[in-house]
């Protein structure tokens, strides 16, 4: 390689790097108090809620308070080995201040592990009827439901499924799907079913899935994709994913399952937020918590891609919800402490029945 070649390569590389650095520069306008920089005020947020849902709120919080949010996001592809395990591993020397997301199930696990600490009493009280940990270690807000997503090109209205039990209906054999129940939100869902129905009934349901050749998809978004393509006829997903398909003009319809009289109801996979025990920035963490647990936050989340339903008392009074989500959803009542206790049994059953181990 001649020196000239090296020089040309070097100059070209330098141009690329300079262009990149220039492209990466973008001014941020924050309402900081005089003489204060973003380095002075900081809060570390581990956010299992999707970035496209959370980013607007983070920007708004930074603008309002001048506190810089160092956010770290999860990805569905990493299953539940992302932020939750990171908080567990960091327990002896916490780096995170606030954990947003994960749902009641994983937050209960974290709380039981001693990774979360109680929120200020007034915030717990302000939750009212909204779901929260009795000790205030996690607080629920902004609901998202587990629904059935149905392909309208392959099923007609009179044959739509209406219950989680329809996944075991032989009419749909080989054409139904759920996310891998060993991971993430579906693990929480199955654990909740074990707690709600009891081991015997829940195992029967799993056996029904097995005999109906239920597809074990890579995640709830994957279920949505496969139903939208017509590969599967219906499956369980979240309102967030299902709405993406509807908004994208896919031939699907969203059904809130088990709404009939006496039905177990639809699982509410609401957002949760908690303070990490021993967090390095407790004051800023509390401010972020107070910012998130407001009706104005729930309004932004309802209007955004999350399509969440307000759960805080004021939001309920103001009926904060996307227009397409019905008012009178019958929700599945879940004791998440019992669900966490049932989880090991559920895991064993899933391995034994669905995975033939």
Partner 1 sequence: MKSSSRILAPSAVFLAAAIVFSPLLAALLGTGLNPHALGRAFHTAARPLGGSAETAMVSALVALLLGVPFAILVERSRPGLRRVFWALGLLVLMIPPYIVAESWIVLLGPAGKISRMVATMLGFGPHSTDPLEIARFSVPALVYSWPAVGAVMGGCFFPIVALAVASAFRRTDLRVFESARIAQGKRGVCRIAAHILLPPAMGGALLVFAVTLTEFSVPQLMRVRTIGEAIYERIQEGDVATAAALGLPVLPVVIFAGGLGAFILARARSASLAGLEGEVPKFTGPRPDHVSDLAAAVMTFIATIPAFILPITSLIWLVVAAKLPPESNIGSHKVLRASGFQESLRGAWDLAHDDAVRTVLLAGFAATLAAIFAIMLVRMASRIRLGPLLGTVGAGLAVPAPIVGLGLIVLWNHEWSAAVYQGPALVLLAWFARYLPVTIFLVQGALARVPKELESAAALAGRGPWERFAAVVLPNAAPGIVAAWLATYVLSATEFSATLLVSPPGGPLLAPSVVNLMRRGQDPEIAACQFLLLAVIALPLVPISVATVFRSRTIKGIN
Identify which of 234, 231, 246, 235 has the alpha carbon closest to the alpha carbon of residue 305: 246
Torsion of CA 332, 338, 341, 345, to 10 degrees: -50
**Contact status, residue 87 vs residue 99, Cβ threshold 8 Å:** yes
**Contact status, residue 84 vs residue 110, Cβ threshold 8 Å:** yes
Under the criterion CB under 8 A, does residue 24 sit at the interface with partner 1?
A: yes
Q: Where does this chain touch partner 1 (CB under 8 A) — which range of 203-211, 237-245, 268-276, 328-336? A: 237-245
**Alpha helix ranges (H) inside the chain:** 3-24, 51-65, 83-89, 103-112, 121-126, 184-197, 199-211, 220-229, 239-247, 282-292, 295-303, 313-318, 336-349
**Contact status, residue 104 vs residue 260, Cβ threshold 8 Å:** no
Identify the residue among 41, 49, 50, 237 touching partner 1 (CB under 8 A).
50
Under the criterion CB under 8 A, does residue 282 sit at the interface with partner 1?
A: no
**Which CB sits closer to partner 1, 16 or 120?**
16
- Judge residue 108's burial from the number of C-beta atoms within 10 Å of its C-beta, 0-12 exposed, 13-18 middle, 19 or more buried: buried
Beta bridge partners, 68, equal 42
Identify the residue among 32, 118, 197, 218 touching partner 1 (CB under 8 A).
218
Under the criterion CB under 8 A, does residue 183 sit at the interface with partner 1?
A: yes
Under the criterion CB under 8 A, does residue 82 sit at the interface with partner 1?
A: yes
Give the chain's radius of gyration (CA, Å): 23
Under the criterion CB under 8 A, does residue 114 sit at the interface with partner 1?
A: no
Per-residue string for binding with partner 1, 30-49, x by CB under 8 A?
--------------xxx---
Under the criterion CB under 8 A, does residue 347 sit at the interface with partner 1?
A: yes
Q: Where does this chain touch partner 1 (CB under 8 A) — which range of 8-16, 119-127, 191-199, 331-339? A: 8-16
CB of 76 to partner 1, least distance (A): 5
Tokens found for residue 315:
């939001």
Identify the residue among 67, 214, 221, 353 touching partner 1 (CB under 8 A).
221
**Contact status, residue 163 vs residue 258, Cβ threshold 8 Å:** yes
- Considering only residues 285 through 314, tell me which ones interact with partner 1, judged by CB under 8 A: 300, 303-305
- Considering only residues 137 through 166, tell me which ones interact with partner 1, judged by CB under 8 A: 151, 153-154, 156
Under the criterion CB under 8 A, does residue 333 sit at the interface with partner 1?
A: no
Identify the residue among 30, 32, 66, 72 touching partner 1 (CB under 8 A).
72
CB of 143 to partner 1, least distance (A): 17
Under the criterion CB under 8 A, does residue 64 sit at the interface with partner 1?
A: no
Identify the residue among 114, 198, 248, 326 touching partner 1 (CB under 8 A).
248
CB atoms within 10 A of CB 233: 22
């Amino acid at each position: 390689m001649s020196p000239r070649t090296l020089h040309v390569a070097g100059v070209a590389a330098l141009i690329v790097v300079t262009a990149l650095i220039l492209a990466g520069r973008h001014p941020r306008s924050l309402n900081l108090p005089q003489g204060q920089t973003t380095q002075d005020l900081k809060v570390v947020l581990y956010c299992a809620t999707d970035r496209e849902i959370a980013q607007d709120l983070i920007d708004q919080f930074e603008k309002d308070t001048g506190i810089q949010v160092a956010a770290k996001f999860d990805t569905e592809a990493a299953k539940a080995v992302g932020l939750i395990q990171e908080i567990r591993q960091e327990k002896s020397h916490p780096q995170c201040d606030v954990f947003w997301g994960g749902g009641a199930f994983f937050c209960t696990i974290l709380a039981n592990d001693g990774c979360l600490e109680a929120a200020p009493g007034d915030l717990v009280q302000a939750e009212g009827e909204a779901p929260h940990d009795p000790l205030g270690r996690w607080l629920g807000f902004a609901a998202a439901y587990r629904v059935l997503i149905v392909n309208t090109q392959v099923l007609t209205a009179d044959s739509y499924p209406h219950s989680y039990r329809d996944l075991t209906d032989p009419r749909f054999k080989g054409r139904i799907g759920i996310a891998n129940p060993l991971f993430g939100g579906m693990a929480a869902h199955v654990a909740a079913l074990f707690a709600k129905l009891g081991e015997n009934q829940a195992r029967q349901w799993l056996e029904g899935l097995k005999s109906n050749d239920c597809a074990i998809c890579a995640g709830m978004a994957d279920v949505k994709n496969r139903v939208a393509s017509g590969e599967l006829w219906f499956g369980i997903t979240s309102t967030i994913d299902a709405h993406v398909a509807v908004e994208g003009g896919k031939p699907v319809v969203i059904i809130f399952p088990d709404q009939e009289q006496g039905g177990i109801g639809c699982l509410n996979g609401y957002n949760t937020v908690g303070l990490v025990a021993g967090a390095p920035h407790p004051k800023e963490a509390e401010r972020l918590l107070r910012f998130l647990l407001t009706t104005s936050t729930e309004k932004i989340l309802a209007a955004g891609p999350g399509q969440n339903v307000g759960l805080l008392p004021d939001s309920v009074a103001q009926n904060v919800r996307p227009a397409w989500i019905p008012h009178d959803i019958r929700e599945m009542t879940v004791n998440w402490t019992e669900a966490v206790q049932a989880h090991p049994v559920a895991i064993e059953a899933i391995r034994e029945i669905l995975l033939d181990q």
